[in-house]
Amino acid sequence: MIPLLLLAPVAGVILALLSRTPWQAALGTVVGAAGLLSGAVIQGMSPRVAAWGDLLRLDELGSYFLLIVAGVHFLCSVYAYGYFRRELEGGHIGPAKVRMYHVWTNLFVLSMVVVVCSHHLALQWVAVEATTLFSAPLIYLHGDRRGMEAAWKYLLICSVGIAFAFLGIIFLSRAAGDVPLTYTALPLAAKRLDPRFLRLAFLFFLVGYGTKMGLAPMHTWLPDAHSQAPAPSSAMLSGVLLNCALLSILRIAPAIPGAYASPLLILFGILSIAVPALLVAVQRDIKRLLAFSSIENMGIVVLGLGFGGAARPAALLHVLNHSVAKVLLFLVAGDLILRFGTQKIRQIRGILRESPLRGVLLFGGILAITGSPPFGAFWSEFGILVGGIAGGHMAVSLAYLVLLAVLFGSFLMYGSNMVFGEGVPRKLSGPELWCLLPACVLLLASLWLGLHVPAGLYKTLERLSTVVAFS
């Protein structure tokens, strides 16, 4: 099954290269994404398969992350058809660049599939580096100066981060001795590993892959990259790439003593929530605003993992909730930017009056990402708070609650101004099926996760929380 999962994005690359028009390339990506999603669903029913001499292995945790990657990729590929059609009609981009978008996107997805399927940590490191190399051209797709600066910044900072992660692998190898560096062997030999090198390995993993996750203070590449990439690429960067970096940290968690790892995760988690809380109020660009929200939500996940206990399954649930809500917002933001001709928040006004569906989607997405009921993120953020209090982290839990309230107020202000505010009357085009349908699906999914967390998903998250528990 794993080779078939890898074949889907490879087929998308080949079809994009052979295509004569952007529409043929888009069709190839949609077909490949549908194949990947189908394979991920089938694989999710019978986890734990291996391939290529056990270099690749897909367990239940990997299947969970793979389903998110495949689902987001499919919706973004449908959206991209309508998005780039508008871009071409507006003369903002040429057909050759649209074809290259599909080539790089499928390579990007291929590298993420390898990340979630990697059994050996060294192979996973290579795959994470590949995600950087394949996604950087997407940031520079329009070929302007700001895109080039953002792409170089992304490459440089994430390359430094991945170098730290490589040092982590070296320290882990020193700690493990003759134990294979696989995520199944290391937990079994945890008591035999050298604790000094093991702690150094986790610190370098956390800083290295934490840079890729956008954790503060290593987050500086993220607002620039997410604001310059095309909307479907921004959605993929935020909705699934950050998760892949998180998974790389989770793979060594069972071998690390909790007394050492938890305080580090709590520190990076609360810092990653505090930085956006301080900076969101001065943002003027809608995509940079959403990028800071990604930093905040990765901080929430890491904080929940640091709290442990009941907060751990809630943190894993928040991975899904964040992907759903953030991809929704990036897709709606991309559609609005095309229609208003600007990314400046103060120039995007009166959406509800001009286009009620877009207004509902944007405001619903903002409520969802800020953890408002009845959307799914409410339960995951609440579960992390309860877990923190139950674990005796009263001061950090209080700070977490205050910072969430600050962020909620800021996002509500921006959302209200854009959706309900008075602006220059303009004629927005009618509903664009290819752009708005994926956003509608995501809004309903977030609402569904808030009104009814499926029993099967809840049990799965409880099992996964034991898989990623510290030793």
Q: What's the pLDDT tens digit per position in 105-148?
A: 999 999 999 999 999 999 999 999 999 999 999 999 988 899 99
Could you tell me the two tokens for 163?
């170098």
Q: How far is CA 159 from the centre of its chain?
A: 18
Task: From 374, 338, 342, 373, select the one nearest 358 (Cα to Cα).
Answer: 338
Residue-wise pLDDT tens digits, 207-238: 999 999 999 999 999 999 999 999 999 999 99
3-state secondary structure of 46: coil
What Cα–Cα distance (Å) separates residue 159 from each residue in 125, 180, 206, 209?
11, 25, 14, 10
Dihedral class, residue 432 (left if φ above 0, else alpha if ψ from -120 to 50, else beta): beta
Residue 296 has pLDDT above 70, yes or no: yes
Residue 321 has pLDDT above 60, yes or no: yes
Range with lowest mean pLDDT among 89-93, 298-302, 386-390: 89-93
Segment 251-278 mean pLDDT: 94
Report the percent of the chain where pLDDT is more than 90: 79
Which residues on neighbouring strands pair with residue 118, listed in sequence order?
56
The pLDDT of residue 223 is 93
CA distance 328 to 239: 9
* Confidence tier at 421 by pLDDT (50, 70, 90): confident
The pLDDT of residue 335 is 92
Residue 83 has pLDDT above 70, yes or no: yes
Could you tell me the two tokens for 329?
């917002």
Burial 66-94 (b: 16+ CB within 10 A, else e): bbbbbbbbbbbbbbbbbbbbbbbeeeebe
Backbone angles phi and psi of 9, in degrees to 5: -70, -30
Residue 337 has pLDDT above 80, yes or no: yes
Q: How far is CA 109 from the centre of its chain?
A: 12
Mean pLDDT of the residues in the chain: 92
CA distance 60 to 219: 29
- The CA-based angle 395-199-317, given to 5 degrees, is 55
* Confidence tier at 92 by pLDDT (50, 70, 90): confident
3-state secondary structure of 120: strand
Radius of gyration of the chain (CA): 21
Q: How far is CA 242 from the centre of its chain?
A: 4
Residue-wise pLDDT tens digits, 144-203: 899 999 999 999 999 999 999 999 999 999 998 889 999 999 989 888 889 899 999 999
* Confidence tier at 368 by pLDDT (50, 70, 90): very high
DSSP string, 409-455: HHHHHHHHHHHHS-----------HHHHHHHHHHHHHHHHHHH---H
Residue-wise pLDDT tens digits, 37-76: 999 998 877 767 767 777 899 999 999 999 999 999 999 9
Segment 95-114 mean pLDDT: 96
Residue predicted with more confidence, 281 or 381: 381
* Confidence tier at 425 by pLDDT (50, 70, 90): low
Could you tell me the two tokens for 54?
């056990």
- The predicted model scores a pTM of 0.94
Which residues on neighbouring strands pair with residue 56, listed in sequence order?
51, 118
* Confidence tier at 397 by pLDDT (50, 70, 90): very high
The pLDDT of residue 122 is 94
CA distance 310 to 123: 32
CB 323 within 8 A of CB 412: no
CB 170 within 8 A of CB 125: no
Could you tell me the two tokens for 177?
């001795």
* Confidence tier at 428 by pLDDT (50, 70, 90): low
The pLDDT of residue 435 is 87
Burial 170-191 (b: 16+ CB within 10 A, else e): ebbeebbeebebbbeebbeebe
Per-residue DSSP letter, 224: H
The Cβ-side half-sphere exposure at 212, using a 13 Å CA radius, reads 33
* Single-letter residue type at 182: T
* Confidence tier at 431 by pLDDT (50, 70, 90): low
